[in-house]
Structure 1
Amino acid sequence: MKLLEDFCNYIMNEKNLSMNTVDGYGRDLSQFTSFIEKPVTKVTTEDVSSFLSHRRAEGDGVSTVSRKLSAIKSFYNFLVRRGKLKYNPASSIEGMKKPKRLPRPVDSEDIDSLLNMIDNLRDRTIFEVLYATGIRREELCAINIQTDINFRRGELRVVGKGDSERIIPLFPRTLDYIKSLSAEHGKEWLFPSIKTGGHIGKRQINEIVNKWTSAAGLEWVTPHKFRHSFATHLMDNGVDLGDIQELLGHSSPETTKIYAGVSKGRARSAVMKHPLATEKGQP
């Protein structure tokens, strides 16, 4: 369909959305157009509502249906701007509210057991850094030994979403893992890719984590669960929520309005309440 192709080209080339997002919107809109069985310029608000209700009845979750609605709204906004329609038939439809669920952290005992199972330095360092710092997968992948790790001060520099930077103090044990791994391979990146010469990607992190969590009977544990665990275990030990938000690198307006910033000194004091703070060095 020409209009759908034009829309996908627009959001990719002019809106600079990622290929994954473009592909996702394309699939959602193809599903929608197959359901309505009429020209997209003849669609009514009722047609959109019927499609969303149908997807819920078919078992799609709230977040999935909300994503489909977002794709439909964006598509029709595009058509209105291009003069193909006078109004957006989906504009009055409100997104479904996703029920709030508390993140499920991994128990520190399970993490210790998991680390003891791992038989190679690289994989163990991956788990160690994820849990000890609470960083995201993409942040883990992109750790540059030369520019991001201050061995003298024991700090990790993290470039997060929106190119925002934060400094996370490293525990002695964690720093020793990093030193050992960097000495072992001698590469620029902490986790280098043999295939590309750069650093490993998020998919490989997923595969490594899944391999060991499955072996430990913790199939539900994903890389992001260690981020939840980092935050939850700090909170359990009395760390201020604002400090935790800062350490995690959250940048939403709500977060920055509610919570006070944390200095490097307070960050170090905060993370010293993490379970790993009592561990000594040497992996």
Structure 2
Amino acid sequence: MEMQIAIFLDYLAVERGLAKNTVESYQFDLKNFMAFCANRQVLDVRRIDRVLVLNYLLELKKLGRSPATIARHMAALKVFCRFLLDEGLLARDPTTNLESPGSGKKLPGVLDQSEVELLLEQPRIGNPAGLRDKAMLELMYATGMRVSELISLNVEHVDLESGYVRCTGKGSKERIIPVGSIAKKYLLEYLSRGRAKITANRTENALFLNMRGKRLSRQGFWKIIKKHARKAGIKEITPHTLRHSFATHLLENGADLRSVQEMLGHADITTTQIYTHLTDTRLREAFNKSHPRALKRVDG
């Protein structure tokens, strides 16, 4: 088991390009699991089964570990067991459809589709700053990019003729995301009528600029989205609200989970699955609100 954990950690660092801190977190959690297995004379990864994993999670709960800590250990085990399955060391994944006890995942805040429309209507495109804001918010909702990815874009990363944007995500992994017609339209307008009036330096290659002609910062984006949310009457918003809304609306309209995972740039599909919990919750709320017999009281 010790050898397989070492190979797995090397795989995370080299092949998946995860950050050093992330790999060390996996190492800590899996060493804890290995110690638990050793106490039960389980030294071979081929003996890891569902009962062992469940007992481990219950042990963590008995030790008073917080729901967030248990969820983190569970996430590490899921990735490790999937790796062992791919390597042919496990016949089946013992963590499939397994939720950690009291994991209590916090669901991200999302806007409904009408709220997104209202937010995207706020920028006034009669001036360069408004054109920039409109193109930027449309692109974020169209692609689900992280704020860091959005503000890191250069002009050459956008291929509007083909309708794609190329961005670099976590672990320096590059991905290609399709851009819809509306975002494409406003990006073209921004590039032709807005950006040139903002830039102070013709050699600046950043796509989105602040009004001094420099690359827009994360803080600058945060101020912009807050300003437009306030005008739209939207009280609760974060820099990643449009990213979360993008994923949720895709799934609500029939997109498959793997495609959404790819567009979001998630290394592990379990990260993307939180949006399925969110859509389930929204469907339940819609059902309870709309169906005449959903909440009908039953006597006797």
Deviation (angstroms), 1:149: 0.8
The 1-side partners of 2:116 and 2:271 are apart by 29
Paired with 2:117 and 2:226, the residues of 1 have a C-alpha distance of 16
CA deviation map 1:226-246 (0-9, x unaligned): 111111111011111111011
> Match for 1:125 among 131, 135, 159?
135
Distance 1:254 1:220, change over 3 A: closer
* Aligned counterpart for 1:109 among listed residues 94, 106, 114: 114
Among residues 207, 210, 218, which one is paired with 1:193 in the alignment? 210
Amino acid at match of 1:115: L
Q: Distance in 1 between matches of 2:239 and 2:67?
A: 23
C-alpha contact 1:130 1:223 (8 A) present in aligned 2: no
After superposition, the Cα gap between the structure-2 partners of 1:115 and 1:98, relative to the gap in structure 1 and judged at 3 Å, is same
Q: Please give the alpha-carbon distance, in whole angstroms, between the structure 1 residues aligned to 2:142 and 2:269.
A: 26
CA distance in 2, matches of 1:255, 1:123: 29
- Map of 1:202-217 to 2, 5 A cutoff? 202-217=218-233
Point out where structure 1 has 5 or more consecutive residues left out of the alignment: 1-14, 18-60, 64-96, 257-283
Aligned-pair distance for 1:136? 0.4
Find out whether 1:175 has 2:184 as its counterpart: yes
Q: Distance in 2 between matches of 1:118 and 1:253?
A: 34
Asked if structure 1 preserves the Cα contact closer than 8 Å seen for 2:132 and 2:195, the reply is: no
User: Aligned-pair distance for 1:16?
Assistant: 9.3
Shift in Å, 1:102: 2.2
Q: Encode CA deviations 1:194-253: one digit per residue, 9 max, x unaligned.
A: 44x541110010000111112222121122111111111110111111110111001248
For 2:268 and 2:120, the matched residues in 1 are separated by 33
Cα distance between partner residues in 1 of 2:214 and 2:265: 25
Work out the CA distance in 1 between the residues paired with 2:271 and 2:117.
Answer: 31
What's the TM-score, normalizing by structure 2?
Answer: 0.50
Which residue is 2:147 aligned to? 137
CA 101–216 in structure 1, closer or farther in 2 if over 3 Å, else same: same
CA distance in 1, matches of 2:20, 2:106: 31
Q: Aligned in 2, Cα 1:235/1:192: closer, same or farther, shift over 3 Å?
A: same
Residues 141 and 202, structure 1, Cα contact 8 Å, conserved in 2: yes
Note the alpha carbon deviations across 1:120-175, whole angstroms, 9 max, x for none.
211112211111110000111011112x1112211000110111011011111111
Letter in 1 for 2:231: A
Alignment partners' CA distance in 2, 1:253 and 1:232 = 15
- C-alpha contact 2:166 2:176 (8 A) present in aligned 1: yes
Residue 255 of structure 2: aligned partner: 239
Distance 2:166 2:143 in 1: 11
SS at match of 1:100: coil
The 5 Å alignment of 1:1-283 reads 99-119=104-124, 120-146=130-156, 148-183=157-192, 184-186=194-196, 188-195=205-212, 197-252=213-268
TM-score when normalising by structure 1: 0.53
For the residue of structure 2 that corresponds to 1:166, the secondary structure is: strand
What stretches of structure 2 of length at least 5 have no aligned partner?
1-18, 22-65, 69-101, 125-129, 200-204, 273-300
**Identical residues among aligned pairs (%):** 35
Structure 1 residue 177 displacement after superposition = 0.9
